[in-house]
Chain A
Amino acid sequence: MPKPDLPLVARDIRKNIIRSLAIAGSGHTAGAMGTADIFAWWYFGGGLRHRSGEPSWEGRDRLILSCGHYAPVLYVTLAMAGYFPLAELSSLRKIGSRLQGHPVKRVELKKMSGLGHEILPGVENTSGPLGQGVSVAVGMALAAKRRGEKHWVWCLGSDGEVQEGQTWEAYISAVKYELGNLIYVIDYNNIQITGEVSKIMPLGNLKKRLEGCGMEVMEIDGHDFEDLEKVKEWAGLHPKTPKAVIMVTTPGKGVGFMENNYRWHGIPPTKEQAFDALEELIRGKK
């Protein structure tokens, strides 16, 4: 199979995010749009080893989404990758839907979830309240390491999330247990719901802080597929050290009136805005 054209895939992801959110009428736009490239690379560019027909395949690389409000980009990409029908995207945030506002992963011995909806294939963890996924990823990476399993555990978190103290508890535990199989990506888009991260609560020198914990840190451009490829090569060089990737992205990427505007953190486009956004995504900037 020829390698897919990742920029095109990412563009389709963005289009589907816009559609899903406009239909849902609520949800978080900016972060999802900003991370469409890495999701394209993860699921279509060989970034993750995964099997859409076998979501529980033991050898799969795990992707833990710690910033649960990025759910639309995860759902859209999973649907496009064949984990569930694309048509289901229009049920986002609707009652009875598997596409919950924030992702829910529920382990059931029996089929019944008791939740009123079923669990979406491909979702690895429950997240929403920030900071929690990083610890979950550390636990999964530790389990893999102790069993001698060779898959990667990826974790995607947001920059605002770094303000949660729990994340720092998680980083030092990953270092202590030498979790070289953990790659933690921070979407550094400098927005959070109330404003710019650098104004709401500056993170200091994040690279130095992470290095100070003992992590290997790499800074990349989250819209550059060559940079993403480099992460993989680099990650293999440090078998005993957890990796942190500070991934700089443009929030709302791809739609001019959304880019770099924190107000798009937690709102969806209206129908009219969605048409404009889709037009721009299809035809390019006016």
Chain B
Amino acid sequence: MTEVQMKATRDGFGEALLSLGEKQNKVMVVCADLEESMRVEEFGKRFPERMVEVGVAEQNMVGLAAGLALEGNCVFAVSYAAFSPGRSWDQIRVSVALSNLNVKIVGGHTGLGVGPDGATHQALEDIAIMRVLPGMMVVVPADAYQARQATERLSELYGPAYLRLTRQKTGLFVDKALKFEIGKAQILRQGKDITVVGCGPILGEAMKVAEKLAGRVSVEVINMHTVKPIDAETLIRSAKKTGRVLCIEDHQVTGGLGGAVAEVLSEKMPVRLERMGVADKWGESGLPEDLYEKFGLSARWIEGRVEKLML
């Protein structure tokens, strides 16, 4: 396998914001004391009139963002996902989602991939609590380049959205030539024996497995970067073809992408389905690769689950 470039999705987000800042004077950022970590520091320096720092106060961050959006701005409200949407969910629900405001909630440091900070900071529930909100778009970029594309596209699409980012550097594995569109899944690899559908950088591990098994098992890999609105059509078409679906995400298996996929398939195309993710457990401190091994999300585990489904 060729060596892939490594970069965190939060970096792609920060770069996109800078270029958006140049292009659109309605783009604003509200941040809760995590400017450097969430890669919005540079935006604040370049566009101080469009940056708001609220300190450690995620509820106010979201409400204030709603106020800015009511006055016509496109507002990115930025924190760690454990805090927002973790702590600010009520504000997101009422002040943003029900009001249908142009606020993009950006949650960083998600999943086991957060690593050493441990369970408190490893948001593993954020997709679930966001996708249940009517009208909320939920986007989980697979790599840094995609995070850039997602940020740009979301700024052009009116309405509330959740953008899920990650801390650790991960491979830029998505073919840049593939079209990126919110609500439209990407088929990263065509296959006929089994469908692996996932979201976020963890999908890169699935790609490695698919490559490794090539010739023996034909794996179709789908990047469901938009968890909501989910691209049911692409999912159903693939499930119909392969008859087996494995879902993978760095999130609780309940309520996240796995839940969304199960909802679609059980109603529209019941096939064999297994969901990989964190199985109703809390995370812990450790290096991301060690945690993925321990919690059953590493390439080795994915390969095992594919093999099992192929039996």
Would you call A105 and B71 a contact (CB within 8 A)?
Answer: no
Q: Which residues of B lie under 8 Å from residue A270 when comparing CB positions?
A: none
B71 and A140 form a contact (CB under 8 A): yes
Shortest Cβ distance from B93 into A: residue: A129
- Partner-binding segment picked from A107-115, A196-204, A225-233: A107-115
In the assembled complex, B60 has its CB within 8 A of some CB on chain A: yes
- Given known pairs A104-B98, A105-B99, the reply for A139 and B70 (CB within 8 Å) is yes
Q: CB within 8 A of A136: which of B54, B63, B102?
A: B63
B60/A135 in contact, CB under 8 A:
yes
Per DSSP, chain A at the interface is: helix
Is A10 in contact with chain B by the CB < 8 A criterion? no
Q: Are A169 and B59 in contact, with the CB atoms below 8 A? A: yes
Q: How far, in whole Å, are A142 and B99 apart by their CA atoms in the complex?
A: 19
- Determine whether the beta carbon of B64 is less than 8 Å from that of A146: no
The answer to whether A136 and B66 have CB atoms under 8 Å apart is yes
* Interface residue? A20 (CB, 8 A): no
Residues 69-108 of A, flagged 1 when their CB comes within 8 A of B and 0 if not, give: 0000000000000000000000000000000000011111
B180 at interface (Cβ–Cβ under 8 A)? no
Interface of B is mostly: helix
Contacts of B67 in A (CB 8 A): 64, 135-143
Q: Which listed segment binds B: A1-9, A21-29, A120-128, A271-279?
A: A120-128
B101 partner residues in chain A, CB cutoff 8 A? 107
Is B57 a contact partner of A126 (Cβ separation < 8 A)?
A: no
How many A-B contacts are there with CB distance less than 8 Å?
110
Known: A132-B63, A146-B49, A169-B59. A140 touches B70 (CB 8 A): yes
**Residue pair B64, A125 in contact (C-beta under 8 Å):** no
Q: Are A139 and B66 in contact (CB under 8 A)?
A: yes
> With the chains together, A173 CA to B63 CA distance in Å?
12
What's the nearest-Cβ distance from chain B to residue A215, in Å?
15
- Within 8 Å CB of A104, what residues of B? 98-99
Chain B CB within 10 Å, residue with most, of A114, A136, A165: A136
The listed residue (A135, A165, A169) touching B95 by CB distance below 8 A is A135
Contact present for B91 and A135 (CB under 8 Å): yes
Chain B CB within 8 A of A248 CB: no
Flag B69-87 by CB within 8 Å of A: 1 or 0 each: 1111100000000000000
Contact present for B63 and A170 (CB under 8 Å): yes
Which residues of B lie under 8 Å from residue A129 when comparing CB positions?
A: 90, 94
Contacting residue for B64 out of A106, A124, A127, A136, CB 8 A: A136
Task: A165 to B87: give the CA distance in the assembly, Å.
Answer: 12
Q: How far is the CB of A9 from chain B (nearest CB, A)?
A: 28
The residue that B135 contacts in the complex, of A114, A135, A136, A146, with Cβ under 8 A, is A114
Q: In whole angstroms, how far apart are the Cα atoms of A214 and B105 in the complex?
A: 29
Instruction: With A142-B64, A143-B68 as known contacts, state yes or no: A135 contacts B99, CB within 8 Å.
Output: no
Q: How would residues 236 to 269 of chain A score, 1 for a CB under 8 Å from any chain B CB and 0 otherwise?
A: 0000000000000000000000000000000000
Contact (Cβ within 8 A) B100 A132: no
Q: Which of B69, B73, B95, B102 contacts A132 (CB 8 A)?
A: B95
Interface: A144 (CB within 8 A):
yes
Residues of B within 8 A of A163 (CB): none
Q: Determine whether the beta carbon of B64 is less than 8 Å from that of A170.
A: yes
Contact yes or no, A143 B99, CB < 8 A: no
Interface flag for A166 (CB, 8 Å): yes
C-alpha spacing A275/B191, complex, angstroms = 74
Complex alpha-carbon distance, A131 and B94, angstroms:
11
Return chain A residues, CB-CB under 8 Å to B65.
139
Sort A-B residue pairs by CB-CB distance and give the 6 closest, nearest first: A139-B67, A135-B63, A169-B60, A143-B71, A169-B57, A139-B64
11 CB < 8 A contacts A-B: A104-B98, A131-B63, A132-B90, A132-B91, A136-B63, A136-B67, A139-B69, A139-B70, A141-B67, A144-B71, A166-B59
- Given A134-B63, A139-B63, A139-B70, 18 more A-B residue pairs with CB atoms under 8 Å apart are A106-B100, A107-B70, A125-B95, A126-B94, A126-B98, A132-B59, A132-B91, A135-B62, A136-B64, A138-B64, A142-B68, A143-B70, A144-B71, A169-B54, A169-B55, A172-B55, A173-B55, A177-B52
Q: Which residues of A contact B (CB under 8 A)?
A: 64, 104-109, 114, 124-129, 131-144, 146-147, 165-166, 169-170, 172-173, 177
